[in-house]
């Protein structure tokens, strides 16, 4: 579903790469967790997948389409929620969702059905007629989620989706992710909450200083010598620490 081939990115004026020759494959039907310390390059990678940044080297394929060469086709199969959704504050929630619906070309009946489903689930039905600028942070997050799910994307991609959600919403949200992959779709998300990753993800990737230092199922990660039975937290701390000391 996602394939990164030797992807590198260095921001203008930066001395080091934010992401360095990253190879990664995420298969259909998978929930993939993307982990790493602050500044590791998670957001940068996600931005390259959704087409917000152009890689300096390498290719990004989504659903078989090159994100840069066949942008529109690739984007049709994605739904994206950024880490800090910045939605038009002067539209109402409903107006925003209808804009998204029109852009993806979702017919009226399907649109109404899905909107009703998600808005009720997130308890946004009441607020949908209000201006987005009057929403709380979590409400904005849920609105962005609804917008991204509206076209039932083959690939659902999220940057730190748990931040700002109340316990009930984040529970619902985990349910949504499981449902979504059960239908053969794919979920890719970055997070700092390791418990969530451990519970939810079929596979995880750990990135540190722009390089993928581990990738696989929980069992595969534990297989390496001396790590049998470790928690993901312990693994994460050891791995990212090694990466740091390698550099020095």
Ligand X SMILES: Nc1ncnc2c1ncn2[C@@H]1O[C@H](COP(=O)(O)OP(=O)(O)OP(=O)(O)O)[C@@H](O)[C@H]1O
191: contact with Mg ion by CB under 5 A = no
Stretch that binds ligand X, among 38-46, 69-77, 84-92, 110-118 (CB under 6 A): 38-46
* Closest distance to other proteins from the beta carbon of 140 (Å): 11
208: contact with Mg ion by CB under 5 A = no
Q: 59 Cβ partners below 8 Å, 6+ apart?
A: 3, 4, 5, 6, 7, 66, 68
Q: Which residue is nearest to Mg ion (CB)?
A: 43
39: contact with ligand X by CB under 6 A = yes
Stretch that binds ligand X, among 36-44, 97-105, 134-142, 168-176 (CB under 6 A): 36-44
Residue 90 binds which one of Mg ion, ligand X, other proteins, none, with CB within 5 to 8 A depending on kind? other proteins
Distance of CA 53 to the CA centre of its chain: 15
* Closest distance to other proteins from the beta carbon of 7 (Å): 16
Residue-wise DSSP of 185-219: -EEEEE-S-HHHHHHH-SEEEEEETTEEEEEE-HH
Number of residues in the chain: 248
Tell me the three-class secondary structure of 232-243, residue by residue.
HHHHHHHHHHHH
Selected binder of ligand X within 2, 7, 32, 43 (CB under 6 A): 43
Q: Give whole-number Cα distances, 199 to 26, 71, 125, 153, 159, in Å.
A: 18, 33, 30, 23, 18
Q: Which residues pair with 238 in a beta bridge?
A: none
* Closest distance to other proteins from the beta carbon of 198 (Å): 28
Q: Are strands 57-62 and 2-9 parallel, antiparallel or unpaired?
A: antiparallel
Selected binder of other proteins within 27, 54, 223, 227 (CB under 8 A): 54
38: contact with other proteins by CB under 8 A = no
14: contact with ligand X by CB under 6 A = yes
Rounded to whole angstroms, how far apart are CA atoms 112 and 16?
Answer: 47
229: contact with other proteins by CB under 8 A = no
Q: What are phi and psi of 4, to 5 degrees?
A: -105, 130
Query: Which residue lies nearer to ligand X by CB, 146 or 209?
Result: 209
Selected binder of other proteins within 15, 38, 72, 245 (CB under 8 A): 72
Q: What are phi and psi of 85, to 5 degrees?
A: -60, 125
* Closest distance to ligand X from the beta carbon of 41 (Å): 4
Rounded to whole angstroms, how far apart are CA atoms 166 and 147?
Answer: 19
- Residues of the shown chain interacting with other proteins in the complex, contacts defined by CB under 8 A: 11-13, 50-54, 71-73, 75-76, 78, 80, 82, 85-92, 95-96, 98-108, 111, 129-131, 133-134
Q: Which residues bind ligand X (CB under 6 A)?
A: 11, 14, 18, 36, 38-44
């Amino acid at each position: 579903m996602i394939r990164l081939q030797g992807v590198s990115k260095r921001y203008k004026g930066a001395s080091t790469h934010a992401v360095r020759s990253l190879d990664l494959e995420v298969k259909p039907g998978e929930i993939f967790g993307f982990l790493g310390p602050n500044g590791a390059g998670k957001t940068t990678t996600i931005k390259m997948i959704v087409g917000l940044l152009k890689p300096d080297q390498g290719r990004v394929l989504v659903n078989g389409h090159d994100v840069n060469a066949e942008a529109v086709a690739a984007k049709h199969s994605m739904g994206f929620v950024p880490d800090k959704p910045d939605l038009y504050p002067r539209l109402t929630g409903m107006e925003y969702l209808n804009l998204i619906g029109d852009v993806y070309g979702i017919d009226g009946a399907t649109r109404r059905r899905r909107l009703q489903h998600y808005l009720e689930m997130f308890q946004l039905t009441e607020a949908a007629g209000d201006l987005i600028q009057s929403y709380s942070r979590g409400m904005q997050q849920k609105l962005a989620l609804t917008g991204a799910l509206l076209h039932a994307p083959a690939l659902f991609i999220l940057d730190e989706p748990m931040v700002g959600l109340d316990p009930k919403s984040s529970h619902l949200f985990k349910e949504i992710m499981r449902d979504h992959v059960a239908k053969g779709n794919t979920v890719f998300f970055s997070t700092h909450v390791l418990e969530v990753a451990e519970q939810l993800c079929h596979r995880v990737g750990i990135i540190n200083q722009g390089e993928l230092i581990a990738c696989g199922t929980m069992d595969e990660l534990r297989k390496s010598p001396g790590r049998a039975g470790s928690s993901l937290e312990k693994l994460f701390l050891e791995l990212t620490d090694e990466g740091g000391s390698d550099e020095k």
